[in-house]
Amino acid sequence: MKPRIIPALAAAAVALAAAAALAQQDSATMPEDGHAVATFAGGCFWCMEPPFDELEGVLSTISGYTGGSTVDPTYQEVSAGGTGHAEVVQVTYDPAKVTYEQLLDVFWPNIDPLDAGGQFCDRGDSYRTGIFVHGEEQRRLAEESKQALTDSRRFAQPIVTEIVDAGPFYPAEDYHQDYYQTNPVRYKFYRWNCGRDQRLTELWGDAPTH
């Protein structure tokens, strides 16, 4: 006879797992050796790695998931919806060589900040845009950057990109990492077929594309 799992104990186990994941995340995003972490959502995470990788002072980019409630979700779970996570890229950088403001300057022209339903051909909440801030200083700078874009009156529509506190981050499966380098032909076809660069040019003019 199988032992019964007491609901309260099961709930406690889930809470402990979530707390452990959060603690792991806090440890992972603490500056180390003068390094710092930034987290951005801009639709397909494959497409958000290249523009940051090209920036001097960026040490690494990792595709992954954040913003949801499921602990250690899979790509299938996130893309199916229901976990609350967004596809994101987590950027580790050296603040002595590149500032958070410069990261924001790279972020905006690589997204469609007017689209609340996803990005380009990728639809759904997991492809939403967002700035996941690590601390009050990042929040202040992100909000100032968003307000400056609004004040510029570049767009008639409102900026829908959210600025929220960073939570637990879960790296995506290995085959997603550096996809633009490991599968360049498929990456370029996906990017073109999705209409990403066409829309970015429409929004930003001669914005850099990757």
Q: What is the pLDDT of residues 142-163, one digit of tens each?
A: 999 999 999 999 999 999 999 9
- Structure tokens given for 92: 């580790």
| Per-residue model confidence as pLDDT tens digits over 122-138 | 999 999 999 999 999 99
Q: Specify whether 194 is catalytic.
A: no
| Per-residue model confidence as pLDDT tens digits over 4-19 | 434 443 344 434 444 4
> Residue written as tokens 């601390």?
135
Q: Which pLDDT score, from 0 to 100, does residue 208 have?
A: 57
Q: Which pLDDT score, from 0 to 100, does residue 206 have?
A: 75
Share of the chain above pLDDT 90, in %: 81
| Neighbouring residues of 120: CB distance < 8 A, sequence distance ≥ 6 | 43, 44, 112, 194, 195, 196, 199
Q: Which of 44, 47, 121, 194 is catalytic?
A: 44
Calculate the CA dihedral of residues 105, 120, 129, 102 and round it to 10 degrees.
-10
Q: Does the domain made of 29-204 have the CATH classification 3.40.710.10? A: no
Instruction: State the Cα angle at 38 between 192 and 160, rounded to 5°.
Output: 60
Whether the pLDDT of residue 79 is over 90: the answer is yes
| Per-residue model confidence as pLDDT tens digits over 17-60 | 444 444 444 434 445 688 999 999 999 999 999 999 999 999 99
Q: If pLDDT is split at 50, 70 and 90, which confidence band does 85 have?
A: very high
Whether the pLDDT of residue 70 is over 70: the answer is yes
Average pLDDT across the chain, whole number: 88
Whether the pLDDT of residue 196 is over 80: the answer is yes
The C-alpha atoms of residue 210 and residue 116 are separated, in whole angstroms, by: 23
Q: Which pLDDT score, from 0 to 100, does residue 78 have?
A: 97
